[in-house]
């Protein structure tokens, strides 16, 4: 069996690589979400939703959904 200190170092290096991969995937997902949000907001603006701002997106969707239910 190898030196316990070397085993701990090896374990830590493996864990750091795993975390690096997870972080990369999460950053890519966040970037994809931002791109999709920008695209969807641009479509909403094109169809006349000029007052829509990103923080109000969910609120606007809820109001729109309520209007559909009322019709």
The residue assigned the tokens 């070397």 is: 6
Taking only the tens of pLDDT, the chain with its 71 residues reads 579 999 999 999 999 999 999 999 999 999 999 999 999 988 988 888 766 655 566 676 677 667 676 65
Q: Which domain holds residue 12?
A: 4-70
Nearest alpha-carbon partner for 64 in 55, 52, 34: 52
pLDDT at 52: 60
Tell me the pTM: 0.57
Task: List, in sequence order, the alpha helices (H) in 1-71.
Answer: 4-46, 57-70
**Terminal-residue alpha carbon distance, the chain:** 73
**Total domains present in the chain:** 1
């Amino acid at each position: 069996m190898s030196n316990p200190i070397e085993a701990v170092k090896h374990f830590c290096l493996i864990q750091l690589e795993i975390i690096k991969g997870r972080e990369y995937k999460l950053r890519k997902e966040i970037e994809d979400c931002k791109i999709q949000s920008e695209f969807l907001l641009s479509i909403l603006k094109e169809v006349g939703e000029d007052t829509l701002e990103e923080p109000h997106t969910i609120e606007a969707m809820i109001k729109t959904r309520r209007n559909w239910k009322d019709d």
